[in-house]
């Protein structure tokens, strides 16, 4: 009797897990379907070349070129990666291999708290602290690629640190012990053995950080300057694809609205390419 009850429970839980997985897949499919069905006709009407490579975004004049927003998104994301990834990886290694338990109990919750801070609060911090400092140091308006990159670099830290730390801790202990047995120091064992062994996990953290950076909206709007032009340098104002959608979707209509949805399609393709690249890299490492 107990065996039959357990068998029924096991089958029931399998059905529940399968249903949950199907709902997740269906949600992704429906989102992609909506975006492509609504956005592809707009790209076809505007012209793929004019839409993707056009340098002027003036909906009132019928100009829908999102190339400045694509460049802006790439610049800001690249800057965030250059700032946040090295700090995140080194912090994760410190937490996993060098940090004393008493210090860890303070640092770990503080880092996890960063992940729970709303984007608008980050944006307000950037507007009140980062922008004035950039303005004071460089003599510009303060709003631009540099400010947005610094802010996003801070925002991706919890993601990069959390995933990287888990990857380093998941490395089998005999790797480290074998390195010590061969005469390597603690530092050399960590940086020459543990970190390379956790390579795919570290890459996963970087990819998730990139996804967070390229998809961020509210914080970027507050510090980037929101100028729909190709930035000349890191101090120039910039508008990202996400910012472009949020700023104009409230009053957009007809082709203008469809062009914004098409911008979301381009953003989705960027995310899919990033994830695909990670999957290929992970498969090659395996």
Residues 266 and 53: beta-carbon distance below 8 Å: no
pLDDT of res. 80: 93
pLDDT of res. 1: 57
pTM: 0.85
- Please, which residues bridge with residue 58 across strands? 63
> 130: which DSSP letter?
I
Q: Where are the domains of the chain?
A: 2-52, 66-285
- In this predicted model, what pLDDT tens digit does every residue of 199-248 receive, in sequence order? 888 888 888 888 888 888 888 989 988 888 888 888 888 999 988 898 88
Residues contacting residue 107 through CB under 8 Å, at least 6 positions apart: 95, 99
Residues 214 and 181: beta-carbon distance below 8 Å: no
Q: 66-285 domain in CATH 3.40.50.1000?
A: no
> In whole angstroms, how large is the CA radius of gyration of the chain?
23
pLDDT of res. 285: 54
Where do runs of H (alpha helix) occur along the chain?
A: 2-46, 48-53, 67-93, 101-116, 119-125, 131-138, 145-155, 157-169, 173-181, 186-189, 195-197, 199-215, 218-223, 241-249, 254-285
* Pair of tokens at residue 241: 């694809």
pLDDT of res. 155: 92
The ranges of the chain with pLDDT < 50 are: 286
């Amino acid at each position: 009797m107990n065996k039959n009850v357990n068998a029924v429970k096991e089958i029931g839980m399998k059905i529940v897990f399968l249903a949950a997985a199907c709902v997740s897949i269906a949600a992704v499919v429906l989102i992609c379907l909506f975006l492509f069905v609504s956005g592809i006709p707009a790209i076809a009407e505007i012209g793929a070349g004019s839409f993707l490579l056009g340098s002027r975004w003036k909906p009132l004049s019928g100009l829908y070129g999102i190339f400045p927003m694509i460049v802006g998104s790439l610049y800001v994301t690249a800057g965030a990666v250059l700032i946040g990834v090295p700090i995140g990886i080194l912090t994760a290694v410190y937490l996993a291999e060098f940090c004393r338990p008493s210090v860890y109990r303070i640092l770990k919750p503080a880092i996890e708290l960063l992940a729970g801070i709303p984007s608008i609060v980050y944006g307000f911090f950037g507007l009140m602290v980062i922008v004035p400092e950039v303005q004071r140091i460089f003599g510009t308006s303060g709003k631009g690629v540099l400010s947005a990159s610094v802010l996003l670099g801070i925002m991706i830290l919890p993601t990069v640190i959390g995933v990287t730390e888990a990857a380093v801790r998941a490395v089998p202990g005999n790797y480290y012990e074998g390195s010590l047995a061969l005469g390597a120091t603690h530092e050399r064992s960590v940086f020459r053995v543990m970190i390379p062994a956790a390579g795919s996990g570290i890459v996963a953290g970087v990819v998730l950080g990139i996804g967070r950076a390229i998809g961020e909206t509210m914080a970027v709007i507050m510090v980037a300057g929101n100028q729909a032009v190709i930035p000349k340098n890191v101090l120039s104002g910039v508008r990202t694809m996400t910012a472009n959608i949020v700023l104009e979707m409230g009053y957009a209509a007809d082709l203008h609205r469809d062009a914004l949805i098409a911008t979301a399609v381009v953003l989705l393709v960027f995310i899919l390419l990033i994830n695909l690249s990670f999957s290929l890299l992970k498969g090659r490492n395996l």
